[in-house]
């Protein structure tokens, strides 16, 4: 039962207003700072009345940081990570729920434990793998003595080396596995009646057809919600692109934002930095606006 009284309505609207101010306030300050000139933006306190140099600052930020190709790199990176996480987590959860093989519960808990290992904790081994994807296989060959045997028999020294640094694949591939997505998909698949799988089997549908034609359409809201969240997560990544990309042609927009940080020896150009921040925020904001309905449906799972 929902109780409606004037006092409760007042406090409800007051809390909503405070939440709105907290959420929109920083964005409004960034927009106002982006509209000032260098003298006005460095006044203390800064005027909260918008200035007249908004479009000039936006153009300067765009050209100074070369944001066109950087935004494209970010779009490729974030989209690749989001699509990869959705697909990998769906396939992994499908295997854990619908296939009976020894150790699947143990595998699930191993995946679940990785929730406690954020990227910052495992970034060194992840970087080592990205620097040479074949290094684990090289280690197996060295440990088993196969490298030594091949060298003795043929005189050929086996050295496997495939680096992914400074490439879009190197940015995307190490981040596509997600324990959160696997857990969410597993919980959703467990809510689907077993009779549905039995009916599909009686109609002659194999595992792949059941997954593609039945499970994926049923989980489209979950895919939209997870994909949107992962897109935003990947778009805001700074540390991983900073390590993996040293070639300017592969730098992402968030990484490039540092070039707009105030210069040395003069007045800080915060108005240009804020204008660049606004430009970089536009794509994720557009994704959130476009996907809002699907995200809400995926979160509350009304169509399960």
Tokens 């039945």 map to which residue?
214
Cα atoms in the 13 Å half-sphere on the side-chain side of 16:
6
Other CB atoms within 10 Å distance of the CB of residue 182: 24
Tokens (6 digits) for 105:
């519960």
Per-residue pLDDT of the chain (304 residues; tens, 9 = 90+): 566 788 888 888 999 999 999 989 999 999 999 999 888 888 888 888 898 899 999 999 999 888 899 999 999 999 999 999 999 999 999 999 988 888 888 888 888 888 777 888 888 888 888 888 888 888 888 888 888 888 888 888 888 888 888 888 888 988 888 888 888 888 888 888 888 888 888 888 888 888 888 888 888 888 888 899 999 999 999 888 888 888 888 889 998 888 887 666 677 788 899 999 999 999 999 998 998 888 887 776 644 4
Q: Percent helix, strand and coil across the chain, each rounded to 5? A: 75, 0, 25
pTM of the model: 0.84
> What is the C-alpha to C-alpha distance for residues 261 and 248, in angstroms, rounded to an integer?
17
């Amino acid at each position: 039962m929902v109780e409606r009284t004037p006092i409760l309505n007042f406090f409800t609207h007051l809390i909503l207003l405070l939440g709105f101010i907290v959420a929109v306030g920083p964005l409004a300050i960034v927009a106002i700072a982006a509209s000032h000139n260098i003298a006005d933006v460095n006044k203390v306190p800064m005027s909260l009345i918008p200035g007249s140099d908004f479009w000039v600052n936006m153009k300067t930020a765009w050209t100074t940081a070369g944001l066109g190709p950087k935004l494209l790199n970010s779009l490729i990176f974030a989209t690749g990570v989001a699509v990869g996480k959705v697909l990998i987590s769906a396939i992994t959860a499908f295997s854990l729920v619908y296939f009976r093989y020894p150790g699947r519960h143990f595998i699930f808990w191993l995946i679940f434990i990785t929730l406690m290992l954020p990227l910052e904790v495992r970034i060194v081994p992840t970087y080592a793998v990205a620097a040479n994807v074949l290094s684990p296989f090289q280690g197996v060959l060295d440990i088993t003595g196969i490298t030594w045997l091949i060298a003795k028999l043929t005189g050929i020294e086996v050295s496997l080396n495939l680096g992914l640094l400074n490439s879009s694949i190197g940015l995307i591939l190490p981040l596509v596995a997600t324990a959160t997505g696997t857990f969410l998909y597993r919980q959703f698949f467990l809510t689907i009646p077993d009779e549905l799988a039995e009916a599909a089997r009686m109609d002659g549908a194999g595992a792949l057809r059941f997954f593609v034609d039945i499970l994926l359409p049923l989980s489209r809201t979950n895919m939209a919600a997870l994909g949107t969240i992962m897109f935003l997560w990947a778009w805001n990544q700074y540390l991983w692109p900073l390590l993996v990309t040293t070639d300017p042609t592969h730098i992402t927009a968030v990484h490039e934002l540092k070039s707009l940080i105030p210069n040395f020896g003069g007045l800080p150009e915060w108005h240009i930095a804020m204008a660049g921040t606004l430009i970089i925020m536009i794509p994720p904001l557009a994704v959130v606006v476009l996907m809002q309905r699907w995200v809400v449906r995926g979160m509350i799972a009304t169509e399960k």
